[in-house]
Structure 1
Amino acid sequence: MAMAGIDPALRPDRALEVELWREATTIIGPSGPGGCDPYGLALAAHRRGLRVEIFMSSAEPIFLDRASSEERRGLMSFVQEGFKRQAEAASLPIEARAFAVEEIGQALDRGLSALVLIDQAPMMGHTCPHWVLVHGHGDGVYFLNDPWIEPDRLEQPMDAVDLPVRAAELDRMAWYGNPAYRAAVLVGR
């Protein structure tokens, strides 16, 4: 979504989605394929020539609560530490702190989009880490695209585009974990 927003000629397809997922995957999901940390996402975007900036408030590996065994937690930590080292070696800008929602608005004003980690609970009714694309804002509302579509709930792709979320709600949603942390990847040309 972020890449297509930057380059409207790009037609994302499943092959690109899986390629990005393979490059950026950090965690092994308890049921399903797993997900990505901010460093892995940023590296995948950077490899495609995009400008990236990272916000990551946790110095420790994240999503470890999603692993079903100590072995999986160890693997996730190893992968995340490797992604972080690669991001540092590539001199990607990393803000080792929680962002303020207003900073996402300022990034949007600078022509960037934001991949923001949220807790999916307010939108889907169950706690789950999830990345959304925040691409616009105005009058205290942020607009996001959400790649998570629930066909069983009769959702269509257009149901996940330009979702208006009040700043206060985005501020609440953009914390995950225990202890809570924040992550975002800003992307642009």
Structure 2
Amino acid sequence: MQSIEPVLADGADAVTAVLDAGLAPALGAERAARWRVERAGYRPTVHTLGHGEGILAAALTSGRPATAATKIVDLWTSPDAPDDAADRLVARVIAAAVERGDAAVKWELPEGAAVPASALAHGFVPLRAPWGAVGTEGTRGLVHWLVPLTHDEPGYYGQTTLFTCGAVAGLIASERYGSHGFAGETVPDRDLEIEFWRRASNYPACEPLGLAVTVQEHIGPSGAVEVALDHPGPVLLEDFTGFDYDFRAELQRESRKRAADLGILVADSRVAMTEVASRVAAGEQALLLIDEAPMHADPGPHWIVAHAAAGPYVVVEDPWVNTATGETWVDTHDLPIHVDDLERLVAWGPEGYRGVIFLSPR
């Protein structure tokens, strides 16, 4: 058989065109529905061998903006495809990720699906199963690191509300210090998530000082907490006025006093993301207050956990899974981000202030 080179097509329209050109019937209704999930804005790309009704193999990939990972959503091969079709497509996906500057390629598998031989051949390894992941727990995940990023893989938990990202981030980071955390038990884990949020909350957001205090109280003497916040007054209150502003500002002043009582260092200087990367690479963790706009084209304050780093990449846990765009916990667990993207992400409000909470062993 004459060799056919893989073809890459970017964008949601390209994916639809390939499905309509003959791939959808070959996939079957249920599988084709996964391909038709609206991923516009999340780098949907289709890699094919053959064309039209002569497609022999196809791989669908996606990737969250402002991050350094590509995910294989699905890979299909025809019974008539050459034996090396899957390997060639996976190699092309990896090559495209390298060209883009990614640090990892992930592979999402439905529950019960066997690990493809082509995944094993290209060095993909299983990701740690999550404690909880808002309806996507049954999905399995694999990863192939493109850069040396050896690290201890943390556990993952997806926030179950729109407002508990800070609590979940703090609890994920606390695992390293032997503190009581998530255990993969639905009701107790969610009770812990809500209870931690209630203690850390500025209603509804968790601001840096209140979150730092709650994390320090949770991990106790096994770890030390430090805050870098380059804003002198109350934060995350841009949408409040009058009483709604005043009582939240009062809570933040109380959190600052409590931080001093606990010996939490609070620095008012703006920390560079290269410093965050360096400290995390040396063994610390950092809770980062980000603006979600670069990732989702929709502004909103959000907390993530930086837990590993090497070179220009920082690896994070993001508690938010955007299931509407086809994301699962595979996207948001052990997620690499380039420091240049972090410089854009870690800033909030009209002034672009920066909130970072460092955790280190005592």
Same fold at TM > 0.5: yes
Pair 9,78 (structure 1): closer, same or farther in 2 beyond 3 Å? closer
Quick one: distance in 2 between partners of 1:140 and 1:8?
30
Measure, in 1, the Cα distance between the counterparts of 2:262 and 2:335: 33
How many residue pairs match? The answer is 182
In 1, distance between residues paired with 2:319 and 2:351? 26
- CA-CA distance at 1:158 after TM superposition: 2.2
Higher RCO, Cα 8 Å, sep 6+ = 1
Q: Which residue of 2 aligns with 1:14?
A: 190
Q: Is the 8 A contact 2:321 2:327 kept in 1?
A: yes
1:134-177 per-residue CA deviation (whole Å, 9 max, x = no partner) reads 11111211111100112222322222112121111101111111
1:57 correspondence with 2:230: yes
1:108 aligns with 2:280: yes
2:217 is equivalent to residue 77 of structure 1: no
Judging changes above 3 Å, is the alpha-carbon distance between structure 1 residues 110 and 137 closer, same or farther for their aligned structure 2 residues?
A: closer
Q: Is the 8 A contact 1:6 1:188 kept in 2?
A: no
Confirm or deny: 8 A CA contact 1:54 1:95 kept in the other structure. yes
Of 342, 348, 362, 1:170 maps to: 342
| Secondary structure in 2 matching 1:136 | strand
CA–CA distance in 2 between the matches of 1:88 and 1:5? 24
Detail structure 1 runs of 4+ shifted over 3 Å in the superposition: 5-10
SS at match of 1:53: strand
Of stretches 149-158 and 173-182 in structure 1, the one that deviates more from structure 2 is 149-158
Tell me the SS of whatever aligns to 1:66: coil
Q: Which has the larger radius of gyration?
A: 2
Structure 2 residue runs without a partner (length 5+): 1-171, 184-188
**What secondary structure is seen at the aligned counterpart in 1 of 2:299?**
coil
Give unpaired runs (5+ residues) of structure 1. Answer: 29-33
Find the aligned partners of 1:122 and 1:39 in 2 and give their Cα distance.
Answer: 25
CA distance in 2, matches of 1:188, 1:19: 24
Question: Which residue is 1:31 aligned to?
Answer: none
User: Any idea what SS the aligned residue of 1:65 has?
Assistant: coil
Superposed displacement of residue 11, structure 1: 2.8
Q: In 2 relative to 1, CA 153–43 (structure 1 residues): closer, same or farther, beyond 3 Å? A: same
Shift of 1:186: 0.7
Give 1:9 deviation, angstroms: 8.3
Matches within 5 A, 1:1-189: 1-7=172-178, 10-12=181-183, 13-26=189-202, 28=203, 34-48=204-218, 49=220, 50-67=223-240, 69-189=241-361
What letter is aligned with 1:163?
A: L
SS in 1 for 2:359: strand
